Structure 1
Amino acid sequence: MDESRPLYDQDIHSIVLWMPNWIGDVVLTLPVLQSLRRAYPTARITAVVKSPSDELLLGHPAINTVLLLPSGSNSGLRERIKFARSLKKYQFDVGIIFPNSFGSAFLLSLTGAKYRLGYNTDGRDIFLTHPIPTTDYLKKSQYRVEYFFKIFSPLKMDVPDTVFSPVVKQEGDISIREALLNTGLDEDEEFITLHPGTSKLERSWHAERFGILCQKIFKEDGKKIVLLGTQSEEKLLNRIKNYCPPDRVKIIPTMNLRVLAGVLKKSRLFIGNDSGMMHLAAMVGTPIVAIFGPGNFGTTGPYMAPENCEVITENYSCSPCRQRFFKECKPSQHNKPYCLEDITVKNVYEAIQRLLKRI
């Protein structure tokens, strides 16, 4: 590579991507990565990512190789340093870092990538050859796809794609069919998916309200509902299921993210909180009713055409929330922030009806 030429004019053959930590953020990088692949169609692009997000990237047309970041008992600093140094054998021309942490920039520098791009937060300039300027305001307010795209500004790329490339391959259809049949659903039967969980309880709408909403959907519309969640959310899912006849509400247990994406794609619409599951639904083009309490939909809303989603939020004077729960606001009687407490079953059901009329 000729160091006298700007980076956008270099011959780039190998790129490493240090991916975000959360599933939703990984999804929101994909339109940018599709643009990256168009700009460098023959480059070998490697993604370093945490489990289970690797399941989304395996076989993705923008990615050649997926490497798992050490986790669990093998995720200490020593193990991560050893892992990062082991990547030198790939001889990366360019390294891109999505997380804003000091530690992630340090690890990227150990990979031997000749040029390293990332935001200039937290004193990370010492590890980056191309620190990208940003501000606290942009970190908190800029839509994530645009925020991630700006990291690539030294490269020759066009705008991010407006649609996602398919991640569900034909070979996954059998697993998707089995997942539906195991819950008693025919492959062509219409259903609605609902995910009541989030990473924090304070961001999750009330289980009781989800249950009453399921009752109303069943009584008024007669539609079957499939509840989605992780193993840790099993009690929550069963609480909601108990509000309706067992043959009308089904639970699909934890599954591979690619199979989950396939189930979401077959769904008539998705209902849920601001979560990674919501972004998976957007990724496969399923219409969405998203409940945003303290979350900022202007920053992390679903990446899809506005007519395909309904975002329910209370725009209070303290919005967008800094999510320092109950240090800057008082909890409701249900231990929720009032921006979530004040979203009613009626609000959500009416949003569902508006969306169903449009799709």
Structure 2
Amino acid sequence: MLIKRLNPLKNRIFGMLTGSFRNSKRINLLESLPRDSEIKVLITRPNHRLGNQLLITPLIQEINKQFPNCKIHLIVNGNLSYILLSNYHCVETIFNLPKKPFNNIIDYLKKSISLISNQYDIAIVGCEDSNSSKIFVKLSRAKFKIYNSGTTKLNRPEHIAKIPIYNLRKFLGPSDYLTDRYPKLSIKLSRQEIEKGNQRIKALFNSNKKTICIFTFATGNKCLSKKWWLKFYKELKTEFTDFNVLEILPNENVSQINYESVHFYSNNLREIASVIENSVVFIGADSGIMHLSSSTNTTTFGLFNVTDPKTYGPYGGNNIPLDTNSVKLSEIIERIKEAIF
């Protein structure tokens, strides 16, 4: 409890410290790096949450596109990235720091020292709002260190996954950062995984109907009420009689529709993604599973009522973020119809 109380003070102190960090003095020379060279790149995003780790997948794709022979190292917390990024062959090393550094200080220091002993061509902050991301870039032995886009804000995106890509493009040449095309989140499912997801759905439903996925859970105030979800579920069943409705359950094993629908749970995130991949749409509140859905090719409807959808919403493909404070339930149903039919 004491640590939680001290967090605001800690963040202010570290914010003042990292606010003074500047991109490498000769950062403009980054443009001269040969695109076919086997460069080493460090991405720092020491956070253990599912969504935050998926949100760096567009940056990984961008780096790999710009430098096809690159080797990428990551700083994250926990072990999720080993699972989420298992099909990203450009990712060579993952420094998985402990989720709770103060409880595992020796392991934390060992991995931090191991990281600092490496040399990199580029080190880039995975999230501009993360003080720890900036600190690890500062500590790294990188030729080019990128914290932000500098003073240029032309066409700067609002989405948290796009900002580090914009920052990188800014120093790769003027034509790069002016484009508004950004990679979307991707978990890179294999054909075999997708087929297993198809077989999973067939085992859950004794029909040839297409499937709509819903995820009714979210943390804290982001979780919409049971009243809202029960009304929404009733409308889904009424308006989409030719479709299966599958509820994906969270680790907490709770349901805002009281388990009224066929439901599915797995502790394998790639299996959950493969099931979503075989669905026509996914509807869920702002959560890690919403970002997991956004990392598939299935149209994702993200329901927001607290956080800013412009910053965290699903983008790319036909994905749609919706603010439930202003969008009526009937409008959501109509948007789903447009996506399906």
Q: 2:214 is paired with a residue of what secondary structure?
A: strand
The answer for the alignment partner of 1:350 in structure 2 is 334
Instruction: Output the TM-score relative to the length of structure 1.
Output: 0.71
Q: Any conservation in 2 of the 1:32–1:161 contact (CA below 8 Å)?
A: no
The answer for the alignment partner of 2:225 in structure 1 is 206
- Alpha-carbon offset, residue 78 of structure 1: 5.3
- % identical aligned pairs: 19
Question: What residue identity is the alignment partner of 1:44?
Answer: K
- Please list, as runs of the form range in 1=range in 2, the aligned pairs for 1:326-337 lying within 5 A after superposition: none
The answer for the alignment partner of 2:32 in structure 1 is 9
- Please list, as runs of the form range in 1=range in 2, the aligned pairs for 1:85-104 lying within 5 A after superposition: 85-99=113-127, 100-104=129-133
The answer for the alignment partner of 2:322 in structure 1 is 312
The answer for the alignment partner of 2:266 in structure 1 is 254
C-alpha change, 1:292 and 1:163, in structure 2 (3 Å) is closer
Q: Any conservation in 2 of the 1:54–1:66 contact (CA below 8 Å)?
A: yes
Q: Any conservation in 1 of the 2:42–2:72 contact (CA below 8 Å)?
A: yes
Pair 1:228 & 2:248 matched: yes
C-alpha change, 1:117 and 1:186, in structure 2 (3 Å) is farther
C-alpha change, 1:352 and 1:177, in structure 2 (3 Å) is closer
Q: Any conservation in 2 of the 1:24–1:279 contact (CA below 8 Å)?
A: yes
Q: Any conservation in 2 of the 1:16–1:95 contact (CA below 8 Å)?
A: yes
Query: Structure 1: how far apart are the matches of 2:85 and 2:102?
Result: 22
C-alpha change, 1:4 and 1:353, in structure 2 (3 Å) is closer
Q: 1:205 is paired with a residue of what secondary structure?
A: coil
Query: Structure 2: how far apart are the matches of 1:240 and 1:28?
Result: 28
The runs of 5 or more residues in structure 2 that have no matched partner are 1-25
Question: For 1:24-72, what per-residue CA distance to the aligned partner results, in whole angstroms no more than 9, with x for missing partners?
Answer: 3443433332221122111211222234244221222542333322224
> What is the aligned-residue RMSD (CA, Å)?
3.4
Q: 1:144 is paired with a residue of what secondary structure?
A: coil
- Alpha-carbon offset, residue 226 of structure 1: 1.4
Question: What residue identity is the alignment partner of 2:244?
Answer: K
- Please list, as runs of the form range in 1=range in 2, the aligned pairs for 1:137-176 lying within 5 A after superposition: 142-152=158-168, 153-155=170-172, 158=176, 161-162=182-183, 167-173=188-194, 175-176=196-197
C-alpha change, 1:290 and 1:116, in structure 2 (3 Å) is same
- Please list, as runs of the form range in 1=range in 2, the aligned pairs for 1:126-145 lying within 5 A after superposition: 132=150, 142-145=158-161
Q: Which stretch shifts more, 215-224 or 259-268? A: 215-224
Instruction: Output the TM-score relative to the length of structure 2.
Output: 0.74
Query: Structure 2: how far apart are the matches of 1:5 and 1:343?
Result: 44
Query: Structure 2: how far apart are the matches of 1:79 and 1:208?
Result: 46
Query: Structure 1: how far apart are the matches of 2:135 and 2:264?
Result: 40
- Please list, as runs of the form range in 1=range in 2, the aligned pairs for 1:278-293 lying within 5 A after superposition: 278-293=290-305
C-alpha change, 1:150 and 1:77, in structure 2 (3 Å) is farther
- 2:201 pairs, out of 180, 183, 199, with 180
The runs of 5 or more residues in structure 1 that have no matched partner are 120-130, 315-338
Query: Structure 2: how far apart are the matches of 1:4 and 1:109?
Result: 14
Pair 1:218 & 2:237 matched: yes
Pair 1:195 & 2:236 matched: no
What is the number of equivalent residue pairs in this alignment? 303
- 1:105 pairs, out of 114, 131, 134, with 134
Question: For 1:293-340, what per-residue CA distance to the aligned partner results, in whole angstroms no more than 9, with x for missing partners?
Answer: 2222222221124xx2444326xxxxxxxxxxxxxxxxxxxxxxxx3x
Question: What residue identity is the alignment partner of 1:290?
Answer: G
Question: For 1:251-309, what per-residue CA distance to the aligned partner results, in whole angstroms no more than 9, with x for missing partners?
Answer: 2113322222211111111111123322322322212333222222222221124xx24
